Amino acid sequence: MITDLPTPPGGSELLRTRALTKHFKMGGVFSRSHLHAVDGIDLVIGENEIVAVVGESGSGKSTLARLIAMVYKPTSGEILHRGSPISALRSRRKILDYRGRVPMVFQDPYGSLSPVYRVSHGLMRSLKLHRTDLSDRGRRQEAEYLLESVGLTPPADFLAKYPYELSGGQRQRIGFAQALACRPELILADEPVSMLDVSVRIGVLNLMSSLRRRERISFLYITHDIASARYVADRIVVMYAGQIAETGPVEDVLAHPKHPYTQLLLSAVPDPRAPVSVPASAEVQEPPRVIDPQAGCRFRDRCPFAIDECSRVTPRLRLLRPDHEAACHVAASDMEGGEQVSGALLN
Amino acid sequence: MIQAQPETVLSVEELCVDYVTDRGPVRAVDRVSLEVARGEFLGIVGESGCGKSTLLFAIARLLSPPAEITSGAVRFNGRDMVAMRDEELRHLRWREYSVVMQSAMNALNPVMTIGAQLKDVIHAHDHMGAREIGERSREVLRLVGIDPVHLRSYPHQLSGGMRQRAMIAMALVFTPELVIMDEPTSALDVVAQRSLMVQIKQLQRKIGFAAIFVTHDMSLVSHFSDRLAVMYAGQVVEIGDTRRLFAEPKHPYTAGLMGSFPSITGPIEPLVGIGGAPPDLAHPPAGCRFHPRCPRVMPRCSVDNPDFYNQEKDLVRCFLYDGRAAGAERVSQLDH
Amino acid sequence: MGVNLVADPTRAVASPDAPRASVLRGFGAALLGNRKAMAGTALLVFFALVAVLAPVIAPYPPQAILFDQILPISPQHLLGTTGNGQDIFSQLVWGTRESLAIAILAGLAATAVSVLVGVTAAYLGGVWDHVLDLFTDVFLVIPTLPLMIVIAAYAKGGGFWVLVIVIVITGWSYGARQLRVQALSLRNREFLDAARVRGERSLYIVLAEILPNMTSLIVANFLGAALYAVLAAAGLQFIGLGDPNELSWGTMLYWAENNGALLAGSPQWAIAPGICIAVLGGAFALLNYAFDEIANPALRPVKRRR
């Protein structure tokens, strides 16, 4: 019995997922096994906030973004946009409206723009589809305005260019401009800076921050880089093997990581300013591909604290600190004062 | 300029690598000089297009047309490799220096077992009996922390981290003096990356080889390298002791790079990165290649090309450190 | 900065990354710079001109029985006359029309079917992909020549359109495979996801996003199909499965064979159309190679410039 997560502070709720699950069928026509990409995700994104989803490859974070973007259909569970399930959206108009409010920015600056068209193509198409209030001239002007707001000036020059003439950072900004064209509420950013040069990343991250401040756009920022998550996000969700391991305000989770996986991630982040830490043990496994899993914690094979219960019972997210939850039997039983509350605060 | 020390394993002198294109030669590596001492771990960092991979291939003598070395020398234990013929190179290859490539999945043959590939490597460079090959293979796998039972495994049966370690095992099979590595961790996740780096460092201490580690990820290499060389637009712009470089980056590009890494500890400060984009190597800017993006640019920078200047045993390619020009104008340090 | 250190010799398929306007501009330049392309284009243009200007070039009506039979080569009859007393040279010139038409029409039609089946299979995926793939495989595996003969014979020696249909039926499957593979590889490119996420309809995505990125492979397919059509049509007509009363190089061969031209002292009756068939086929082949070279620089002949 899952009780809902509370609405986050700072405004009304934009998006909520309940027990969101996506399984992919593996193997040929006759196989029965399923890859559990995402299992039972409860997530809330509010207005005017940046939520970072952090995890390694195979954690399901990209699948999560694509589920919300309606690229995949969920196997079970639901996604609620301002309270109404998006599975109920049938008419093209309503779906288009949702897509306009919740667009996506992609990871690969070299693959996210069609190489045969000028960079204005996607932008103009977005405007055509979502801004029916504009005339042709109006669209052109809006396109230029959008390019300026993502820092590409002079905009007229950029509109005429082909993707191969732009750098990776510039292409990603075009991606953001395309997302902005629909006047979104929430932008799903799937590893928008991972394929960019280090010196260019900050510019794009700063762009995200400023868009959130100026235009009050929320972001779901998918990344494997915890440091960048800390730099831009308000809240952080740590995913492992398709499930949420830990979630809470960014500073609190980083300062008091409760889930052993979060602790492992933090210890592995190379931070030149941090003192050299004791190296992790030699035999490190990698995140599993979750195919037809048994019950129990999926991190147990790598966890230094695993107890018997971890192999039998799948841990649920439990509130361990204010607003800060983790799905770990050991962390939960470690709690002082026995503040074990199943599910979340009933507000 | 650079004094060759007796313990120098590799010395690169004014190396230039050009690509022959329709539009004329494009210089991808411009007068690069550096040295690696015996047992030293040298990191080469830079972003895309800086020429670090080209430099690495040039050092390993793996360049193919349209890229070619147009001038300079690469001396391995004193002998110039650029001038060597293929026959002589083959003696050196793998026994005295070896190369670890970026992606194991690309470099390992997917249809051969690890054992078979090790055998291939050994056969290519030495004559050993079958039993000896088997022993050596097992030994080298154990060295990198892989159970020798995996001699019979295919690459796809191993995890990403294990594959990379298998590559390293292959590189170490003749205990070379120098191992050149091209971003061997970039295909791995953060946790596996760290574990692999630790392993490489341990191996280095144990066997005593010198290592050149090329990467775009400065912070990754920061804990493991003795010295660090920073490349930009085909040139080395700063080279020196790692700790010192991190504590006080001298070249504005290095400083800019440092300012591009958000930290997970300490207060969250707004960062700026580096504005602009790397230059087109076919038409590099006049004077210092970094000057269009430099927050501390001086008038001189757009005209002359800086040499290396000595700054407490570190070398910086920047006019800011040209001690000779006493009356040089200085733009005050701007915080962009 | 995007120069490969080691050219990948396995990529025979044109990289879709050349942007269109630059491809058009650069195409002209590449065409001029590539000898095979120039030769192929020149030949095609030549044949096209001959076909269009046939009434002007040919000295006599091709089917008119005006002359003595099997006259030798002379200034009045550049290639002599047929066993029926028709001027061979005129026939050759007029025959260009049908031969060229079959090549291009059948080539286009076969390519169209290949694109339709291949791209649809890749885009729909899942069960549809399996079904269409199976369908393609069946056609791929059927032996072409017997199938052609059976169909043509069943259609009772039909003419132009039967030939076109036969060629399309037997020729589409190979291209469909190739196109499906390329479309599959494109399917995972993020710009397609980006199109979907911004709300584009599926049909739009296929027509405006996928196909334009496949133009080089589609053109290459067309050239291959046209080549196949030239040879297949000639072959079928030669063995009598075309309509012998139509005029094309293939039917000329048929009549020449029927009249024992080689032995009867009029070998040029068979040789001339044979050469034309080979040259037209060669033109398409040259263009095909040239196209590969233009699209994939690794295949270009190495010119060492100092």
As given in the structure block, the two tokens for residue A248 are 């809470």
Average pLDDT of the segment spanning B196-209 = 88
Average pLDDT value for chain B: 84
Measure CB to CB from residue C5 to each of B48, B67, B280 and give the nearest one: B67
Tokens standing for residue B318: 């920047």
In degrees, rounded to 5, the angle at the alpha carbon of residue C68 between the alpha carbons of residues C64 and C70 is 100
Chains in touch with C (3+ beta-carbon pairs under 8 Å) read A, B
Q: What's the whole-number mean pLDDT along residues B33-56?
A: 90
E strands in chain A: 13-25, 34-46, 50-54, 76-81, 84-85, 104-105, 186-190, 218-223, 235-240, 243-249, 318-321, 324-326, 341-342
**Torsion (CA) B206, B212, B215, B217 in degrees, nearest 10:** 50
Closest Cα in chain B, distance from residue C155 (Å): 50
pLDDT of residue C18: 40
Closest residue on chain C to B57 (Cα): C5
Cβ–Cβ under 8 Å, residues B226 and B41: yes
Give residue C217's identity as a one-letter amino acid code.
Answer: L
Residue A153's pLDDT is 83
Chain B partners within 8 Å of A198 (Cβ): 47, 216-218, 257, 260-261, 273
Residues of chain A above pLDDT 90, percent: 47
Q: From CA C147, how far away is CA B224, in angstroms rounded?
A: 69
Q: What is the pLDDT of residue B328?
A: 37
Q: Tell me what percent of the residues of chain B surpass a pLDDT of 90.
A: 15
pLDDT at B190: 82
pLDDT tens digits, C259-271: 887 777 788 888 8
- Compute the distance between CA of residue A124 and CA of residue A127 in angstroms, rounded to an integer: 5
Provide the pLDDT for residue A276. Answer: 52
Higher pLDDT, B317 or C298: B317
CB contact set of A129 (below 8 Å; sequence gap of 6+): A96, A100, A182, C198, C199, C200
Which of chain B's residues have a Cβ under 8 Å away from the Cβ of C1?
A: 28, 48-49, 278, 280-281
Chain B touching partners, 3 or more CB pairs below 8 A: A, C
Phi, psi of A152 (to 5 degrees): -105, 100
Tens of pLDDT, residues A164-202: 888 888 999 999 999 999 999 999 999 999 888 888 899
A284/B217 touch (CB, cutoff 8 Å), yes or no: no
Give the model's pLDDT for residue C28. Answer: 62
**pTM score of the predicted model:** 0.81
From its phi and psi, is residue A292 left (phi > 0), alpha (psi between -120 and 50) or beta? left
CB contact under 8 A, C199 and A99: yes
A84: helix, coil or strand?
strand
Average pLDDT over residues C119-125: 87
Tell me if B43 sits within 8 A of B215, measured CB to CB. Answer: yes
Does the pLDDT value for residue A105 go beyond 90? yes
Residue of A116, A124, A162, A190 to mutate, testing the C interface (most C Cβ within 10 Å of its Cβ):
A116
Q: Tally C-beta pairs within 8 A across A and B.
A: 125
User: Which string of DSSP letters, residue by residue, matches B56-71?
Assistant: HHHHTT---TTEEEEE
Question: For residue C304, is pLDDT > 50?
Answer: no
Residues B279, B282, B285, B290, Cα dihedral to 10°: 40
The answer on pLDDT for C137 being more than 60 is yes
Identify the pLDDT of residue B331.
32
Question: Which of the two residues, B107 and A121, has the higher pLDDT score?
Answer: A121
Could you give the angle at the alpha carbon of A264 between the alpha carbons of A260 and A269, nearest 5°? 150
- Mean pLDDT over A288-310 rounds to 84
DSSP-based three-state secondary structure for C143? coil
Q: Do A182 and C198 touch (CB under 8 A)?
A: yes
pLDDT class for A258, splitting at 50, 70, 90?
A: very high
- d(CA A275, nearest CA chain B) in Å: 9
Backbone angles phi, psi at A299, to 5 degrees: -95, 0
Tell me the pLDDT band of C19, cut-offs 50, 70 and 90: very low
- Inter-helix orientation angle C160-187/C88-124, to 10°: 30
Alpha-carbon span A243 to A245, nearest angstrom: 6
Tokens of B279: 């230059």
Q: How far is CA A143 from CA A138, A168, A178, A268, C41, in A?
A: 9, 20, 9, 42, 42
pLDDT(B14) > 80: yes
Tell if the CB–CB gap between A129 and C198 is shorter than 8 Å. Answer: yes
- B327 pLDDT higher than 50: no
CA dihedral angle for residue A247, residue A249, residue A250, residue A253, rounded to 10 degrees: -60
Closest C-alpha to C184, from C204, C213, C160, C222 = C213
pLDDT digit string (tens) for B234-280?
Answer: 999 999 999 888 888 889 999 988 888 888 888 888 888 888 778 88
First and final CA of chain A: distance in angstroms?
17
Rounded Cα–Cα distance for residues C82 and C91 (Å) = 10
| Alpha carbon B327 to its chain's center | 37
Cβ contacts of C5 on chain B, cutoff 8 Å: 53-54, 57, 62-64, 67
Element (H, E) at B254: helix B252-258
H helix and E strand count, chain A: 12, 13
Q: Band the pLDDT of A56: cuts 50, 70, 90.
A: confident
Chains B & C: contacts with CB separation below 8 Å: 22
Q: What share of chain A is helix, strand, coil (3-state, %, to 5)?
A: 35, 20, 45
Q: Cα separation of C287 and C27, whole Å? A: 13
The average pLDDT across B115-140 equals 88
Res A293 pLDDT > 50: yes
**Which range among B85-99, B293-307, C44-58 shows the weakest confidence by mean pLDDT?**
B85-99
State residue A44's pLDDT score. Answer: 93
Rounded to an integer, the average pLDDT of A337-343 is 40
In C, which residues are within 8 Å of A183 by CB distance? none
